[in-house]
Amino acid sequence: MRVFEEVLYAFWNYDCKSFSDVSNLVTVVYLLAFIVLFLENGILVTSFLPGDTLLIFFGMLIAKGILSFPLTVCILTVAASLGSWVGYIQGRWLESAVLKNSWFAYLPQRYRCLAFRIFDSYGLFALFIGRFVVFVRTLLPMLAALSGFHGIRFHFFNWVSAFCWILILTVLGFFLGKTDLIQSYDHQQVVYFLLIVIFFVVVLIGIIRVIFFKISHVKK
């Protein structure tokens, strides 16, 4: 319990140096990131989780020497790929049109339309494009399963696209963390604070949206 308190303290004070002074804290941070990426990529209800922001933040922690670059990319690639695989399995189960529509209704209409357009145009290559679009990256594995794509082909595109997504955003965060603007202690505090605020605001909005969705369906 104390470890989680120290994690929250470190985030609340947006002091990245505090990460390196706490035993087992890095393991907890990796575990939390694994859970977030797994849920965001695999479960429509939790597709609002801000994986992009998390990856950029981790890139900044790598730039500070707090996290290992190879280990971070490896762990997060596994998390995103396994999440998408769970989404693919869900797609294999959604044979009923009623069940399919009720499940897809968790996503905003515009993102559902965008996901269908991308998939119709590019097939499994859409996994590369969809990785960089929130909500869409959660829906595309289900569409791949519903379209009858073989598991081996899906897994190849799934793992490669997850690796590219994580690599690009963590490298972006790494270079942002190395800029003179971010290296300044005062600016560093502001940037970390904004990333944390964005993360929790997006999570809060997503939770509120799911609650309203459930309430509206109960009334119907």
pLDDT of the residue at 217: 52
pLDDT of the residue at 14: 47
What residue ranges of the chain have pLDDT lower than 50? 1, 3-4, 12, 14, 20, 22-23, 98
Q: What is the average pLDDT score of the chain?
A: 76
Q: Which long-range contacts (CB under 8 A, 24 or more apart) does 196-204 make?
A: 196/11, 196/12, 196/14, 196/57, 198/50, 198/53, 199/50, 199/53, 199/54, 199/57, 202/48, 202/49, 202/50, 202/53, 203/48, 203/49, 203/50
**Could you give the CA distance from residue 55 to residue 68 in angstroms, rounded to a whole number?**
13
pLDDT of the residue at 160: 94
pLDDT of the residue at 44: 81
pLDDT of the residue at 17: 53
pLDDT of the residue at 6: 55
pLDDT of the residue at 98: 47
